[in-house]
């Protein structure tokens, strides 16, 4: 581990420590950092395979003005000049930044300072608006400050963990492993509240598959139950008028069971368990936040914890878990349009204080536009220059077609990204090459307020530069040289720390005073630390009277299904992909878990639509439509469908989830209701289906109905389907020696292109026949010599189709796992690991293994009956 550089994972808010050992100019060995409290050496599948994502494929390496390479000087001058002109002509509110929880704290700090102190507008919002702004608003309402009152240690000490709207097994896998460890060590009970049966539910003590959008009713009824049991009280709390009357009316078991569409006995079981278990952590994420009543849903959870005194004590806390690696750092610097800086809002005192500290010429005095409103303002022509940093709104904002129109119409668009082509940068006037993970230096704050260093271990490629540098250069060119005279991230960190401490008499818990004078070497050597200690342990809250507040929350009325849009669309994540796939998409291993975007649908709904597993299906909403591959599963409630958020124009003709949700937002937080959109589903016929494997990673556009691309070892795999003559696909094949086999009866065509004896491409298309396993053919990309026999699609001794990849670390497929369970009579997950290795490295697939084990055992029993 000598040469290893300690850094923090690029992905989720768990914030795992990583020991990265460079092994070449663009290669690195990744291990978990055993000394980091967040993960103690463990990493999930995404973290484990970070090494596969540090190549230069697809990177933006030079500043670009339009389609032309430009010098940094020229690009920065242009950006500064256009911002200056736009502000002079239309005022400061005519420009905006749209930033990201994937920026480092230092990047975030300078972007926020430039907009709110110098440009003089608060039009800087972030993708965190889409992510946890309801939690921020909920915390502010209840605690008086945006404080996450939990730490991961609480999970180790809890007797009951309630996961609400969180697919922890896939989205925060190391936290999930920690929960499993607590269950094994001390018998901690686990309850999952999620309309879908996700892998997180595997082995849970209870899964409440509630009707979407009914969390307020559930939490209020839980509080009513605790009240009747005599374990709820208003002591030391500010209670709004009528609060208890409201809780005590209409929140009985039966009414609630009807509202939430749950068996009353199940609800009762949960309420009893909760009431009997003081050490409870309620961990929540997007199923709660991403709702048009997200803030109320957050406060309904906080109410229960406050009134039952389950906060500020070991093993007892509400825990809003964050998504992105630095969502929390963004909140700390104040990078949301609705906050000012360092946990201060726009109260006149705060504006004056921050203005003094920054020596700011033109302070913003009121909140700016929140993400959805910001893009609406662009549509309406009110924002004339936008700078996007480290986010891909053309994919991730709701009603993405309108967002794309906004990006196409805005007079001046700048995109700072690590990738050359994204759906958002397609219309950029200027593209700026940012330094990526492993190249940039700074700090991030994870879900439990632990601040860790991200450190560079690779040289900057091409002319890429860190985001803080880019912003600072533009600020200097706009005339604010001395206010942005930073030479290194440590300079910015010290200033941020000083601001958190500036005239902070204890009213703000965020106070990094100890770091205000930290030296450069100490910054470089900084160990992970958690700020804020154990908040609220003394029962005091950062409100004027020191008391926390209960908030009266009412269950909203849910609309009955609409005639044309009878289904409810829920959206979210896959285990091995990160957002718009710009990085995880580079990893051949991660690609194999889910190669195509699926629409998950209950078999009853599928039957009514004549839809079979594997068919193509169109999901439509009033906002737009897109194709998906249908997957039938009992894990969906009837009437509800689920699609993933990851697929983009860069990799697929379908799977465009962003086009589907509405622009409706929560009134307090501005967070969109991504989890519930009225939708319809219809089967789409494809006369033929097939796949194309190409050597290399250069993307091609395939003229067909369905084409989705994933990176595989040595090349690219396209899954394809379409109507009409598939022969037109052949124009996309590379030049070389062509071998071909045709089976007229099944309408099957197999073509291989060989170059210097090596495989350059294979195209398999069939109308009625079966397609062979792709694995063996992909393996042939690596062979020194192949012959026409490659068209048989299996070599001597080739293994049978291993099925969808479950364990990405050891490349083990579903069929192999089922066979091992059957043949060797395996009875638990560790036994599967011993027999074939699956699940013994990162452990991300263990919930899936448990699921396969349960199903296989059941099928075997049925077969024996
Ligand atoms: N693999 C992977 N991990 C990630 C990410 C990724 O892209 N890929 N992204 C990261 C980011 S930024 C985030 S924000 C987190 C998100 O992490 P999660 O919040 O865990 O992920 P989601 O899949 O968005 O949604 C969680 C669950 O909410 C459920 N849900 C939907 N509607 C309701 C409802 O009305 N009530 C309740 N109780 N539940 C509901 C959904 O069925 C879904 O299973 O993941 C982070 N980790
Ligand atoms: N329907 C639906 N939509 C959703 C969600 C949902 O559950 N359902 N979830 C929402 C949530 S919680 C989130 S967090 C968002 C995420 O959505 P986005 O933020 O749009 O997704 P990413 O793909 O992470 O975009 C990050 C971009 O930054 C680039 N990048 C990576 N590193 C750097 C860097 O160091 N500097 C710069 N300048 N660029 C970099 C990447 O290449 C990529 O283009 O999606 C939201 N949208
Ligand atoms: S849980 Fe996985 S993705 Fe999240 S920080 Fe840890 S290794 Fe990275
Ligand atoms: Mo997120």
Reduced 3-state DSSP string for 708-719: EEEEECCEEEEE
How many beta carbons lie within 10 A of that of residue 563, not counting itself?
7
Q: How far apart are CA 377 and CA 773, in angstroms?
A: 49
| % of the chain exceeding 70 in pLDDT | 99
pLDDT at 794 exceeding the cut of 80: no
- Whether residue 598 has its Cβ less than 6 Å from ligand 3: no
> pLDDT tens digits, residue range 806-819?
999 998 999 999 99
Distance (Å, whole) CA 636 – CA 236 = 42
Q: What is the pLDDT of residue 775?
A: 87
The reply to whether ligand 2 has any atom less than 6 angstroms from the CB of 323 is: yes
Decide whether any atom of ligand 3 lies within 6 Å of the 47 Cβ: yes
DSSP state of 117: I
pLDDT at position 1 is 46
CA of 354 from ligand 2 middle (Å) equals 29
Q: Are 406 and 96 in contact, with CB atoms under 8 Å apart?
A: no
- Of 242-256, 667-681, 737-751, the one with minimum mean pLDDT is 737-751
**Ligand 2 closest atom vs CA 658:** 1
Q: Does pLDDT of 743 surpass 90? A: no
Q: What are phi and psi of 183, to 5 degrees?
A: -65, -45
Cβ–ligand 1 contact at 675 (below 6 Å) = yes
Banded pLDDT at 250 (limits 50, 70, 90): very high
* pLDDT for the residue 3: 84
CA distance 196 to 280: 23
Residue 288 has pLDDT above 90, yes or no: yes
Ligand 3 lined by 43 (C-beta under 6 Å): yes
Average confidence (pLDDT) over 199-210? 96
- Comparing 115 with 3, which gets the higher pLDDT? 115
Give pLDDT, residue 865: 66
**Predicted local confidence at residue 798, as pLDDT:** 58
Residue ID of nearest Cα to ligand 3 atom 2? 44
Q: Is the pLDDT of residue 111 over 90?
A: yes
Phi, psi of 280 (to 5 degrees): -125, 135
The DSSP annotation for 16-49 comes to -EEEEEEEETTEEEEEE-TT-TTTTT---HHHHT
Please check the confidence at residue 797 and state whether its pLDDT lies above 80.
no
Whose CA is closest to 571, among 423, 388, 325, 395? 395
Query: Cα(32) to centroid of ligand 3, in Å?
Result: 10
Q: Where are the alpha helices (DSSP H) in 696-805?
A: 774-780
The Cα angle at residue 517 between residues 363 and 149, in degrees rounded to 5: 70
Question: Would you say residue 434 has pLDDT above 80?
Answer: yes
Q: Which residues contact 269 (CB under 8 A, 6 or more apart)?
A: 206
Q: Give yes or no for residue 796 having a pLDDT over 90.
A: no
Strands 189-193 and 206-208: parallel
- pLDDT per position as a tens digit, 48-98: 999 999 999 999 999 999 999 999 999 999 999 999 999 999 999 999 999
* 3-class DSSP state of 344: strand
Most ligand 1 atoms within 8 A of CB, residue of 132, 135, 675 to mutate = 675
Average pLDDT, the chain: 96
Residues 6 or more apart in contact with residue 830 via CB below 8 angstroms: none
Q: For ligand 2, say whether the CB of 580 is within 6 Å of any of its atoms.
A: yes
173: Cβ below 6 Å to ligand 3? yes
Res. 574: pLDDT tops 80: yes
Kindly state if the Cβ of 286 falls inside 6 Å of ligand 2: yes
> Facing residues of 529 across strands?
451
CA atoms within 13 A on the CB side of 467: 30
Which atom of ligand 2 is closest in space to residue 101's alpha carbon? 14
Confidence of residue 165 (pLDDT cuts 50, 70, 90): very high
> What percentage of the chain's residues is helix, strand, coil (to nearest 5)?
35, 20, 45
The answer on pLDDT for 306 being more than 80 is yes
Rounded to the nearest angstrom, the distance between the alpha carbon of 126 and the centre of ligand 4 is 11
Find out whether the beta carbon of 11 lies less than 6 Å from any atom of ligand 3: yes
Question: Which residue ranges form the domains of the chain, and what is each CATH number?
Answer: 5-53 (3.30.200.210), 64-130+326-487 (3.40.50.740), 133-320 (3.40.228.10), 567-684 (2.40.40.20), 688-792 (no CATH), 805-864 (1.10.10.1100)
Tokens of residue 527, six digits: 């160990």
Query: CB-side exposure of 768: number of CA atoms within 13 Å?
Result: 5
Percent pLDDT > 90 in the chain is: 92
Question: Is this model's pTM higher than 0.85 or not?
Answer: yes
The alpha carbon of 704 and the centre of ligand 1 are apart by a number of angstroms equal to 32
Comparing CA positions, the residue from 437, 181, 422, 227 lying closest to residue 326 is: 437
Residues in the chain: 865
- Please check the confidence at residue 863 and state whether its pLDDT lies above 90: no
pLDDT digits 0-9 by tens, 582-638: 999 999 999 989 999 999 999 999 999 999 999 999 999 999 999 999 999 999 999
**How high is the pLDDT of residue 791?**
87
The residue whose C-alpha atom lies closest to atom 31 belonging to ligand 1 is 287
């Amino acid at each position: 581990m000598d040469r290893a550089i300690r850094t923090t994972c690029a992905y989720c808010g768990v914030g795992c420590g990583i020991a990265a050992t460079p092994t070449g100019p663009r290669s690195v060995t990744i291990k978990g950092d055993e000394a980091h409290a967040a993960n103690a050496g463990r990493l999930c599948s995404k973290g484990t395979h970070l090494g596969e994502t540090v190549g230069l494929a697809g990177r933006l390496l030079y500043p670009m003005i339009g389609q032309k390479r430009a010098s940094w000087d020229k690009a920065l001058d242009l950006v500064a000049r256009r911002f200056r002109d736009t502000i002079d002509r239309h005022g400061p509110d005519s420009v905006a930044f749209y930033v990201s929880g994937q920026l480092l704290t230092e990047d975030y700090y300078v972007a926020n300072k430039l907009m709110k102190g110098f440009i003089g507008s608060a039009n800087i919002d972030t993708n965190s608006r889409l992510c946890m702004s309801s939690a921020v608003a909920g915390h502010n309402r209840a605690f008086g400050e945006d404080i996450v009152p939990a730490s991961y240690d609480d999970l180790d000490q809890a007797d009951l963990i309630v996961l609400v709207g969180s697919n922890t097994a896939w989205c925060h896998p190391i936290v999930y492993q920690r929960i499993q460890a607590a269950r094994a060590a001390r018998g901690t009970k686990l309850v999952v509240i999620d309309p879908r049966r996700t892998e997180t539910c595997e082995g849970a003590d209870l899964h409440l598959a509630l009707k979407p959008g009914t969390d307020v009713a559930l939490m209020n009824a839980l509080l009513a139950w605790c009240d009747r049991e005599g374990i709820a009280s208003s002591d030391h709390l500010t209670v709004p008028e009528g609060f208890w009357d409201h809780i005590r009316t209409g929140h009985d078991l039966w009414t609630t069971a009807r509202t939430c569409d749950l068996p009353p006995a199940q609800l009762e079981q949960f309420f009893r368990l909760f009431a009997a278990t003081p050490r409870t952590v309620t961990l929540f994420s997007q199923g709660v936040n991403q709702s048009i009543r997200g803030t109320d849903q957050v406060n309904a959870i906080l109410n229960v914890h406050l009134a039952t005194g389950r906060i500020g004590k070991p093993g007892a806390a509400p825990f809003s878990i964050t998504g992105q690696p630095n969502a929390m750092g963004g909140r700390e610097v104040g990078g949301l349009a609705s906050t000012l800086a360092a946990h201060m809002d726009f109260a006149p005192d705060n504006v004056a204080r921050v203005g003094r500290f920054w020596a700011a010429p033109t302070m913003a005095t009121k909140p700016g536009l929140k993400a959805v409103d910001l893009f609406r303002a662009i549509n309406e022509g009110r924002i004339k220059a936008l700078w996007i940093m480290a986010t891909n709104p053309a994919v991730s904002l709701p009603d993405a077609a309108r967002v794309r129109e906004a990006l196409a119409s805005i007079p001046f668009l700048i995109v700072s990204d690590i990738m050359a082509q994204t759906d958002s940068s397609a219309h950029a006037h200027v593209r700026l090459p940012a330094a990526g993970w492993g190249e940039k230096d700074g700090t991030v704050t994870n879900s439990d307020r632990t601040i860790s260093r991200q450190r560079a271990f690779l040289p900057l490629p091409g002319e890429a530069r860190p985001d803080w540098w880019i912003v600072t250069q533009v600020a200097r060119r706009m005339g604010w040289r001395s206010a942005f005279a930073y030479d290194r991230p440590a300079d910015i960190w010290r200033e941020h720390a000083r601001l958190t401490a500036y005239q902070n008499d204890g009213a703000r818990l965020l106070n990094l005073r100890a770091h205000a004078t930290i030296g450069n070497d100490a910054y470089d050597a900084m160990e992970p630390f958690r700020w804020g200690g154990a908040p609220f342990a003394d029962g005091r809250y950062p409100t004027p009277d020191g008391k926390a507040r209960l908030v009266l929350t009412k269950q909203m009325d849910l609309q009955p299904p609409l005639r044309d849009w009878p289904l409810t669309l829920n959206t979210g994540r896959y285990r091995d992909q990160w957002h718009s796939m710009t990085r995880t998409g580079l990893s051949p291993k991660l690609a194999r878990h889910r190669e195509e975007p699926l629409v998950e649908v209950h078999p009853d709904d599928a039957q009514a639509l004549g839809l079979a597993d594997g068919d193509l299906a169109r999901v439509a909403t009033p906002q737009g439509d897109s194709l998906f591959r249908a997957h039938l599963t009992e894990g969906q409630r009837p009437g509800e469908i689920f699609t993933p958020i990851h697929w983009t124009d860069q990799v697929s003709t379908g799977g465009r989830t962003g086009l589907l949700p509405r622009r409706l937002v929560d009134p307090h937080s501005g967070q969109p209701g991504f989890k519930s959109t009225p939708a319809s589903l219809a089967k789409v016929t494809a006369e033929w289906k097939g796949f194309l494997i190409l050597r290399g990673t250069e993307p091609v556009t395939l003229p067909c109905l369905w084409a989705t691309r994933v990176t595989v070892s040595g090349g690219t795999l396209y899954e394809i389907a379409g109507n009409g003559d598939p022969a037109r696909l052949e124009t996309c094949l590379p030049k070389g020696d062509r071998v071909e086999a045709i089976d007229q009866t099944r309408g099957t065509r197999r073509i291989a292109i060989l170059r210097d004896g090596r495989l350059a491409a294979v195209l398999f298309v069939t109308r009625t026949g079966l397609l062979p396993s792709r694995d063996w053919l992909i393996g042939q990309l690596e062979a020194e010599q192949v012959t026409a026999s490659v068209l048989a699609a299996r070599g001597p001794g080739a293994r049978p189709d291993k099925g969808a990849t479950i364990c990405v670390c050891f490349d083990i497929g579903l069929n192999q796992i089922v066979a091992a369970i059957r043949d060797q009579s395996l009875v638990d997950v560790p036994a599967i690991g011993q027999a074939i290795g699956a699940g013994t490295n990162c452990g991300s697939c263990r919930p899936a293994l448990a699921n396969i084990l349960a199903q296989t055992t059941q099928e075997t029993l049925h077969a024996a009956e």
